[in-house]
Structures are given as C-alpha cells and as structure tokens.
C-alpha cells in the first residue's frame, strides 16, 4: 500500500510509521508548555527523529476536550519557524496538525508534506489547498468540536458509524481532486468518544482497514488509558504501548506518539507479529 505525500512515495505494505508529536502550544493535554517556543520545539523535534520517528506532527493548537480554537495567525506564529527549519533541512517528513486551510497553505509553501486535519476537511478551503500541493492528508473522525465533544457522545455502532463517516470524507476528498493514494484515515480516539467507544474502535479496527487506505491511530497518553489504569497523564507509557501494539497487529500503518523510542520498539514487534499472520508463500520446487 502506497501513501503519496507530495514528491514522496511511502510504502506501507509491511512497514508501520511512527509519527512523533511536537506540540508547540502552551496548553496541550500531555505536554502543554514544554515545547511552546521555537528553540525547545526544534530540539525536541530533532530528538524524536534521533529516536526513530518517521514523520513529525507539528501543531500550534490544542484539541484537548474543552479547548477553544486558536486563530490562524497565532497558530502560524507558533509553528511557522519550526516548520520552515525542519522542512528546509529536508531530513524529516513534516506533517502539520491543523484544521485551518490558511495555516496548511503556509506550511505547505514552507515545504511540509502532510496535513493532519482533525476536522476531516471542515474548513471549506482546505481540500483545494491540499489538492494543489499534492500533499498527504489525514482525515480524522471527531464527533462535535473539542469544546463540547466529550459531553455525552452516543453511537448505535461506533465502529460502523466512524467507518461510514471516513468513507464519505474519502469520497469528498476525491471529488475535490485529492487522489485516494494521498489519504490516510484515523478513527480519532478520544474525540467525542467514551472509554467504551475508544476501546470498541481499536478492537474493531478491521472496519477501517477494510477501506483500503492506511489507518493512523493516536492513543498516546490518552484519557481512556488513564481511566482503565487510574493513572495520570505522565504515567501512561505502558498502557499507550499496549494499545499501539494491538492497533498495529490489527492493521494500523501509522502510529502517532509522544514517546517515540519506546513506541518504535513496540511497533516493530507488533508489526513482525502481524506479518507472521500472513499465510506462508509455498516455496518453489
Ligand atoms: N490526537 C491529538 C491531536 N491530534 N491527530 C490525529 N490525526 N489523531 C489523533 O489521535 C490526534 C491528533 C491529541 O493529542 P495531543 O496533540 O498530544 O494533544 P493536544 O490536542 O492537547 O495538543
């Protein structure tokens, strides 16, 4: 399976990518404020690359439950210098975590490769921006908006409803000129989901894998892990690795994570196990 992101063609047939999170924000749920300025953010990004990150997800707006939108100008003030430095170096595959077409456009102009849009083309101008640049695109499912998404979310069948939503967004993207092979799909763990919904989506990941596009999952340090283990955000590493490993075993091709070195190790093992499930090819006589 190929994922085309601008001039890069990434073969996800056997390999799983680890996407390292760089939150250049004062208020992200797990690391808000630690990398809020350019120097620490760049140092952290380089550290994640050294730890084995395949791509970096740079964000200037927290989408934690209860958060408010950050204006495009402010997002760009936060992430712009980091995007420019990393994309300019040409070492990293750069993703920008934004639902603003204006921010995406500036990031792509600076050389970013992927737009990670948690609103799945909610900004009416986004599709044209992504299509014009030939960028990779992550379409994520969210019920409602971050400000109110965790107020009593309900589904009759979470896995089926999320898959139907993403299939429709994939078609909308194609109609707007974004080829299927540029798109990855994400169930949006914790975005308008109870613990039960998040577990169901991960356990039934094959519903999304069946759409025949790379599936991305973001489980790192999330509250469903905290609720299962009754642990705060800084003690969720093992739970995050367990969830990431299961997701990869069930077919996820991209894992978004804060703890890159540990995640790379867990992913390599889960991926080897996934490969071992494939029927052995008969050897020729
Ligand atoms: N999760 C977060 C942010 N962006 N993007 C995708 N595609 N999938 C995710 O699961 C996802 C995401 C939330 O994590 P984080 O960036 O650490 O927190 P915050 O939104 O508070 O900055």
User: Tens digit of pLDDT per residue, the chain (285 long)?
Assistant: 999 999 999 999 989 999 999 999 999 888 878 999 999 999 999 999 999 999 999 999 999 888 999 999 999 999 999 999 999 998 899 999 999 999 999 999 999 999 999 999 999 999 999 999 999 999 999 998 888 888 888 999 999 999 999 999 999 999 999 999 999 999 999 999 999 999 999 999 999 999 999 999 999 999 999 999 999 999 999 999 999 999 999 999 999 999 999 999 999 999 999 999 987 766 665
Distance 63 CA to ligand 1 centre (A): 6
Q: At what angle do helices 237-249 and 260-276 cross, to 10 degrees?
A: 30
229: CB partners within 8 A, 6+ apart:
235, 236, 239
Q: Which atom of ligand 1 is nearest to the CA of 188?
A: 10
CB 245 within 8 A of CB 16: no
pLDDT computed for residue 284 by the predictor: 64
Our answer on whether the CB atom of 80 is closer than 6 Å to any ligand 1 atom is: no
Phi/psi region, residue 177 (left: phi>0; alpha: psi -120 to 50; beta: rest), is left
Angle, helix 158-175 to helix 195-203, in steps of 10 degrees: 70
Angle at 114 between CA 150 and CA 1, to 5 degrees: 100
193 carries an active-site annotation: no
Which residues are CB-contacts of 284 (< 8 A; sequence separation ≥ 6)?
Answer: none
What residues have CB less than 8 Å from 77, skipping those under 6 apart?
60
Paired residues of 184 in beta bridges? 138
Of residues 169, 204, 236, 256, which has the active-site annotation? 256
User: Phi first, then psi: what are they for 86, rounded to 5°?
Assistant: -70, -45
Tell me if 149 sits within 8 A of 129, measured CB to CB: no
Query: Does 4 qualify as catalytic in the annotation?
Result: no
User: Would you say the CB of residue 59 lies under 6 angstroms from ligand 1?
Assistant: yes
In this predicted structure, what is the pLDDT of residue 147?
85
**Angle (CA) 169 256 170, round 5°:** 10
What are the tokens at 164?
A: 């139907």
pLDDT at residue 283 in the model: 64
Exposed/middle/buried for 283, CB within 10 Å: 0-12, 13-18, 19+? exposed
Calpha distance 178→139 (Å, rounded): 12
Which pLDDT score, from 0 to 100, does residue 220 have? 98
Helix-, strand-, coil-residue percentages of the chain, each rounded to 5: 45, 15, 40
| Ligand 1 atom having least distance to the Cα of 138 | 7
DSSP letter for 254, please: E
CA separation for the pair 127, 119 (Å, rounded):
12
The answer to whether the beta carbons of residues 223 and 217 sit under 8 Å apart is no
């Amino acid at each position: 399976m190929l994922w085309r992101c601008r001039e890069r063609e990434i073969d996800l047939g056997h390999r799983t990518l680890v996407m390292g999170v760089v939150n250049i924000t004062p208020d992200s749920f797990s690391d808000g404020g630690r990398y809020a300025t350019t120097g620490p953010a760049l140092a952290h990004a380089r550290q994640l690359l050294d730890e084995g990150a395949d791509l970096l997800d740079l964000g200037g707006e927290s989408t934690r439950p209860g958060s408010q939108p950050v204006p495009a100008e402010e997002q760009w003030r936060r992430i712009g210098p980091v995007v420019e430095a990393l994309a300019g170096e040409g070492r990293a595959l750069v993703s920008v975590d934004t639902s603003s077409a204006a921010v995406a456009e500036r990031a792509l102009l600076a050389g970013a490769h992927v737009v990670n849009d948690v609103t799945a083309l909610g900004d009416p101008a986004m599709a044209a921006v992504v299509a014009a640049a030939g960028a990779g695109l992550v379409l994520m499912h969210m019920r409602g908006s971050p400000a109110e998404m965790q107020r009593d979310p309900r589904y009759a069948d979470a896995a089926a409803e999320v898959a139907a939503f993403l299939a429709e967004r994939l078609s909308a993207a194609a109609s707007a000129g974004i080829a299927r092979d540029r798109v990855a799909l994400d169930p949006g763990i914790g975005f308008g989901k109870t613990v039960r919904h998040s577990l169901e989506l991960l356990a039934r990941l094959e519903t999304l894998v069946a759409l025949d596009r790379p599936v991305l999952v973001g489980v790192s340090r999330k509250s469903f892990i905290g609720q299962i283990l009754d642990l705060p955000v800084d003690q969720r590493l093992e739970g995050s690795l367990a969830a990431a490993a299961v997701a990869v075993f069930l077919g996820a091709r991209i894992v978004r994570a804060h703890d890159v070195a540990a995640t790379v190790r867990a992913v390599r093992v889960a991926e080897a196990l996934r490969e071992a499930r494939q029927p052995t090819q008969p050897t020729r006589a």
